[in-house]
Amino acid sequence: MSHTGDELGHARRRSGWLIPLAVFFVTACLSAAMLAYYFAPVSPGAGEEQPAPTDATRPIALSVGTEHFHIPANYILTAGARRGGAMDAVQLIAILPDLKGYSLGAAPDFTANAPDSRVVAITLKLGATVLPEQERLDRVYLTQVEDPKGRVGPYGLRQYAFRADSGYHDQDLFLGASDAGPVVLLCTKLTPDAASPSCLRDLPMEKGLSLSYRFKRAHLGEWRAIAAGIGSRIEAFRDKE
């Protein structure tokens, strides 16, 4: 009986320190998990929503800053933005030549980055400090070109070459004129390394918004129609007060 009592006493003493040890272990594991959750580095690109175009055409009510829009769903690139509401930026897509929204018939344009893709990528953004085009041309671009006078370019454009030491050395600069003012385009140079060259335009809008759009350089000859078409589309999407 004495031997049995000793065993029971030893078991009680052992359980007395096993329970606190188990509690400590669980607490430590939970603490480590919480620290990893809050402080572990996030891989690049994590949290960025992937493009998910739709052919649905229902209007989506959204706002960028204080500007309110109703935009057909097939112009909005991501599913999250199609929930509508307030946002800092919205990415849109359209198809040349008539700048319609996404459709199943145009789906092949979205599955490959072809040099002649008809897709135009459009971004409306809040809080971007984009200079007016003429001011940006004078203060930024023309200070970095080889010849500020430029030369006659294609499609009624003026063309400029950036110096080799410029941050834009891999771009060509094109300047066009429209009824609304200058059209300034930065286009990827045509080199063997440029698999799918594109052209970019950035311009400020009222109320702290900016507009940018990108299209393939193969469609540079349509720059007038693209500029006018995007302007009219954005105006049509805007809520009228």
pLDDT tens digits, 167-198: 999 999 999 999 888 999 999 999 999 889 99
Position 16 scores a pLDDT of 54
For 101-143, how does the pLDDT look when each residue is reduced to its tens digit (9 = 90+)?
A: 999 988 888 777 899 999 999 999 997 678 999 999 999 999 9
* DSSP-H helix ranges across the chain: 2-39, 108-111, 133-136, 223-237
Same domain, 36 and 69: no
Total tally of structural domains belonging to the chain: 2
Position 128 scores a pLDDT of 64
Same domain, 168 and 215: yes
Mean pLDDT, rounded, for 3-22: 49
Q: How far apart are CA 130 and CA 202, in angstroms?
A: 7
Position 111 scores a pLDDT of 73
- Would 48 be classed as within a structural domain? no
Mean pLDDT, rounded, for 207-220: 95
Q: How far apart are CA 143 and CA 86, in angstroms?
A: 38
Q: What are residue 94's DSSP bridge partners?
A: 120
DSSP-based helix, strand, coil % in the chain, nearest 5: 35, 30, 35
Same domain, 101 and 33: no
Position 241 scores a pLDDT of 64
Q: How far apart are CA 51 and CA 123, in angstroms?
A: 13
pTM to 2 decimal places: 0.78
Same domain, 5 and 80: no
Degrees to nearest 5, angle at CA 135 with 129 and 137: 105
Same domain, 32 and 71: no
**Does residue 44 register a pLDDT over 70?**
no
- Would 76 be classed as within a structural domain? yes
Same domain, 86 and 114: yes
The mean predicted confidence, pLDDT, of the chain is 83
- Would 179 be classed as within a structural domain? yes
Please provide the distance, in angstroms rounded to a whole number, between the alpha carbons at the two ends of the chain.
94
Write out the residue range of the structural domain in which residue 32 sits.
Answer: 1-40
Same domain, 80 and 180: yes
Q: How far apart are CA 25 and CA 27, in angstroms?
A: 5
Peptide bond into 44 cis (omega under 30): no
Q: How far apart are CA 134 and CA 91, in angstroms?
A: 25
**Does residue 31 register a pLDDT over 60?**
no
Same domain, 23 and 63: no
- Would 169 be classed as within a structural domain? yes
| b/e sequence 173-187, b meaning 16+ C-beta within 10 Å | bbbbeeeeebbbbbb
CA 205 to chain CA centroid, Å, is 18
Same domain, 35 and 68: no
Same domain, 93 and 23: no
DSSP E strands, 73-127: 85-87, 89-95, 119-126
Mean pLDDT, rounded, for 151-171: 97
Q: How far apart are CA 137 and CA 163, in angstroms?
A: 15
- Would 50 be classed as within a structural domain? no
Position 185 scores a pLDDT of 98
Q: How far apart are CA 129 and CA 203, in angstroms?
A: 10
**Contact criterion met (CB below 8 Å) for 175 and 158:** yes
Same domain, 18 and 93: no
Same domain, 68 and 34: no
